């Protein structure tokens, strides 16, 4: 059974802190790993990491895929209150691009 595990499940930090969110996966026919941010409703896409693109960066957010360790991290530097959200990690498997999601990490950034 495909499995994606995220840790920690929740995190409280103060503005300006740097945080690292973890994701590990055990899936058959792995194709890519995706990170989403969910603030109330629809998850919004952050990054997709594949064998040909194991490191991505956008502003204060960056992500790395470690295919040997079957894991990924999402880093957020100089956190802001607007970063408060649930961060979802998902692995794409097989030919049908089916996504298997982790349970999500709830990040709270205090002023």
Partner 1 sequence: DGGITQSPKYLFRKEGQNVTLSCEQNLNHDAMYWYRQDPGQGLRLIYYSQIVNDFQKGDIAEGYSVSREKKESFPLTVTSAQKNPTAFYLCASSPGQVPYEQYFGPGTRLTVT
State which residue, 73 or 99, has the beta carbon closest to partner 1.
Answer: 99
Nearer to partner 1, 17 or 46 (CB): 46
From first CA to last CA, the distance across the chain in angstroms is 41
- Residue 85: name the closest of 96, 76, 93 by CA: 76
Q: Please report, for residues 3, 7, 42, 50, 56, the alpha-carbon distance to residue 71 in angstroms, rounded to integers and kept in the order given.
A: 12, 11, 24, 12, 14
Interface contacts to partner 1, rule CB under 8 A = 4, 6, 9, 31-32, 34, 36, 41-45, 48, 50, 88, 90, 92, 95-104
| Closest CB to partner 1 among residues 52, 111 | 52
Instruction: Name the minimum Å distance from CB 7 to partner 1.
Output: 13
């Amino acid at each position: 059974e495909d499995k994606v595990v995220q840790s920690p499940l929740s995190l409280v930090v103060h503005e300006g802190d740097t945080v690292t969110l973890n994701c590990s996966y055990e899936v058959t026919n792995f194709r890519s790993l995706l990170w989403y941010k969910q603030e109330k409703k629809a998850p919004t896409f952050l990054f997709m990491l594949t064998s040909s693109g194991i490191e991505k960066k956008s502003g204060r957010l960056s992500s790395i895929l470690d295919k040997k360790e079957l894991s990924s991290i999402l880093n957020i530097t100089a956190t802001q209150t607007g970063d408060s959200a649930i961060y979802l990690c998902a692995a794409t498997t097989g030919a049908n691009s089916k996504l298997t999601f982790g349970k999500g990490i709830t990040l709270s950034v205090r002023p």
